[in-house]
Amino acid sequence: MELKILRDLGLSEGEVRVYLALLEIGKSTSGKIIEKSRISPSKIYDVLNRLTEKGLVSYIIEGKIKHFKVAPPNQILNFIKQKEEELELHREEFKKILPELESKQKLIQKKFNAEIFEGIRGLITVFDMSFEEMGKGNTLYAFGYPPYASKLFDAYWKEYHRKCDKKGVIRKVIYDYETWFLKKREIRKLSYHRYMPKGVTTPSWILIFNDKVATVIVTPEQKVCFLVQNKEVSNSYIQYFNLLWKNAIVPK
């Protein structure tokens, strides 16, 4: 019998064993249940009480002795319905406090304005963040995109640019010379490209979005991002980007 579903519904290992024991032996005293389920005598009444509260076990007293009986198996469906109702209630209650929780998180984020992300998943978290925080008409700036990173994240960026076009996010990117000529570049309506002069290479690159600056290092040995949140720093990097943009090569 597949028992995982019973555990997934929130029954403990002991509750599952006692429930199945009662299904097999029928109405029984605690002694027989202990023998069948191999639950410790010191724990059996606690387990039976929990099953009773869930509506899966009942009892009668005969001659001052409790006899326990399992509810019909279809009672599990009622138990599931009860859990669904409880979850829906929790959902509605959580919605009420969600704004307060988000507000608390924003206060913490203001205090901690520097973070480090590691590994491919960590970098994608930052890339996703840049998309989610940008709105229609906003501009994402990037420069120094190295060849290894281009190959590693090629599929990701194709989908990223597609979503940005749909959302109306502008992208201005300055590529490394070698990176630009790795492949034929697609023409995108809101994406503007230039590239560095030959011989200028960078193992890292910079992403600027809203008040955040991400310094991304991607090599076969290391994948890490340093993310700083500060409006003054962001503005200074945009000024630096604009200086590079004027001197970068315009694709023909």
List the chain domain ranges: 4-75, 112-247
CATH number for the segment(s) 4-75? 1.10.10.10
- Tens of pLDDT, residues 13-27: 898 899 888 888 988
Q: Across the beta sheet with 114-118, what order do the strands follow?
A: 114-118, 223-229, 212-218, 204-209, 139-145, 170-175, 191-195
Which residue is associated with the tokens 């006899």? 67
Residues 36-53, mean pLDDT to the nearest whole number:
90
pLDDT surpassing 60 at residue 1: no
Rg (Cα) of the chain, in Å, rounded? 30
CB-count exposure of residue 249 (10 Å: 0-12, 13-18, 19+): middle
- Tens of pLDDT, residues 53-106: 888 888 888 888 889 988 888 888 888 888 888 889 999 998 999 888 888 767
d(Cα 28, Cα 21) in Å, to the nearest integer?
10
**Residue 91 CA, distance from chain mean position:** 18
d(Cα 58, Cα 35) in Å, to the nearest integer?
19
pLDDT surpassing 90 at residue 203: no
State the DSSP H helix or E strand holding residue 43, giving kind and residue range, or none if neither.
Answer: helix 41-53
- Tens of pLDDT, residues 102-152: 887 676 555 547 889 999 999 999 999 999 999 999 999 999 888 888 888
Classify domain 112-247 at the CATH superfamily level.
Answer: Endonuclease Chain A (3.30.870.10)
Q: What pTM value is reported for the model? A: 0.54
